[in-house]
């Protein structure tokens, strides 16, 4: 048999073999290294957002009574809700800071220090309960808390109503919307309606879920794969990427035993239910705009995203995450920052 190099069929076999070998080596390296390549990952081409555990926020705002939204916005910024006229809802939930005040604990009237970290008000309408311990079933019920809390606004509904009734503009606005005028229920309803309008759609990850494969980088994509494969997704999923269930802080290791003196705020839902199984159980926070809402955890003990990812890995998942793992997961979390009123947060 003639095996001369000039035989055309032999050259074809050699070339095809070399091509096959090259592709085999490339995909074997990709599989074993478990790293997304620098070029767009092949999964981008077959990714289907509809199959994912995270749901993008709707691009259109909720269908709300805009009169209530306007009134609620005014009340959200109203200092008269506090006893000494120094604190408004917006004091702790600053819309230009991701819906928080960037403090470990917020300040109330007379400079009093609160005992728990203020969660973001953005997308709070998607939470299944309000407050870290879930004691309020609705946004309306949540508003009742800070108004009457002596450390926060230190007021009462009778005092608030009396103040607002002395302002003719409020009397006119309330009477045009509510048949019974200025009441505690109507104040709560207006503010809650405004808060339900505070959605932040169109994050880069939402764009990715909707099919824009170029909206996130390979590193961010791989961070999302780690987020899912390590188990973070079991608590942080759905439209708010959390905010839809309770979970104990310290599933794998005793967080509170290793992190200082126990205070009332650390007891979580136990304060409400008195059930020992609810000790250290909290509402899982949503992760939208998480890059803007530090410090993190109910006690504000984690200053950075890197810190809180490491803590979650250790105490919730039993994992000692590498710096590279943390960097990639944080890269994914930074894609969750959305827009408000059509402008990036």
Q: What is the pLDDT of residue 15?
A: 53
Contacts of 5 (CB under 8 A, 6+ apart): 11
Q: What is the pLDDT of residue 3?
A: 43
Q: What percent of the chain has pLDDT over 70?
A: 86
Respond yes or no: is residue 152 known to be catalytic.
yes
Mean pLDDT of 69-89: 98
Mean pLDDT, all residues of the chain: 90
Structure tokens at 112: 């009093």
**30, 52, 78, 152: which is the annotated catalytic residue?**
152
Q: Residue 249 pLDDT > 60, yes or no?
A: yes
Mean pLDDT of 181-195: 98
**Banded pLDDT at 260 (limits 50, 70, 90):** confident
Structure tokens at 299: 């006690």
Q: Residue 44 pLDDT > 50, yes or no?
A: no
- Give residue-wise pLDDT tens across range 221-242: 999 999 999 999 999 999 999 9
**Half-sphere exposure in the Cβ direction for 207 (13 Å, CA):** 14
Q: Residue 33 pLDDT > 80, yes or no?
A: no
- Which one is predicted more confidently, 325 or 1? 325
Q: What is the pLDDT of residue 259?
A: 87
Please, are residues 285 and 291 in contact by the beta-carbon 8 Å criterion? no
Q: Rounded to a whole number, what is the distance in angstroms from the first to the last CA of the chain?
A: 73
Q: Hunting for tokens 């070029």 — which residue is that?
A: 39
């Amino acid at each position: 048999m003639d095996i001369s190099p000039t035989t055309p069929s032999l050259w074809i076999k050699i070339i095809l073999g070399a091509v096959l070998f090259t592709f085999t080596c490339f995909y074997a390296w990709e599989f074993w290294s478990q790293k997304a390549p620098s070029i767009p990952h092949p999964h981008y081409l077959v990714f289907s957002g509809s199959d994912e555990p995270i749901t993008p926020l709707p691009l259109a705002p909720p269908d709300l009574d805009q009169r209530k939204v306007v009134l609620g916005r005014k009340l959200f910024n109203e200092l008269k809700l506090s006893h000494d006229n120094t604190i408004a809802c917006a004091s702790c939930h600053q819309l230009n800071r991701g819906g928080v005040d960037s403090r470990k604990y917020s300040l109330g009237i007379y400079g009093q220090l609160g005992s728990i970290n203020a969660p973001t008000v953005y997308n709070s309408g998607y939470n299944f309960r309000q407050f870290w311990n879930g004691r309020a079933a609705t946004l309306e019920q949540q508003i009742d808390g800070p108004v009457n809390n002596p450390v926060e606004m230190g007021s009462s509904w009778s005092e608030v109503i009396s103040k607002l009734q002395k302002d003719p503009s409020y009397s006119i606005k309330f009477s045009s919307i509510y048949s019974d005028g200025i009441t505690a229920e109507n104040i709560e309803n207006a503010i809650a309606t405004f808060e339900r309008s505070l959605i932040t759609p169109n994050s880069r990850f939402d764009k990715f879920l909707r099919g824009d494969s170029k909206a996130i980088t390979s590193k961010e994509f791989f961070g999302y794969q780690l987020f899912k494969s390590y188990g973070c997704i079991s608590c942080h999923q759905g439209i708010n990427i959390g905010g839809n269930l309770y979970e104990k802080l310290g599933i794998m290791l005793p967080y509170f035993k290793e992190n200082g003196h126990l205070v009332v705020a650390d007891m979580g839902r136990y304060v409400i239910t008195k059930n020992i199984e609810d000790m250290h159980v909290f509402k899982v926070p949503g992760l939208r705009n998480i890059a803007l809402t530090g410090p993190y955890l109910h006690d504000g003990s984690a200053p950075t995203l890197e810190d809180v990812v490491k803590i979650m890995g250790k105490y919730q998942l039993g994992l000692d995450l590498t710096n590279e793992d943390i960097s990639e997961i944080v890269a994914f979390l930074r894609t969750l920052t959305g827009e408000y009123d059509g402008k990036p947060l």
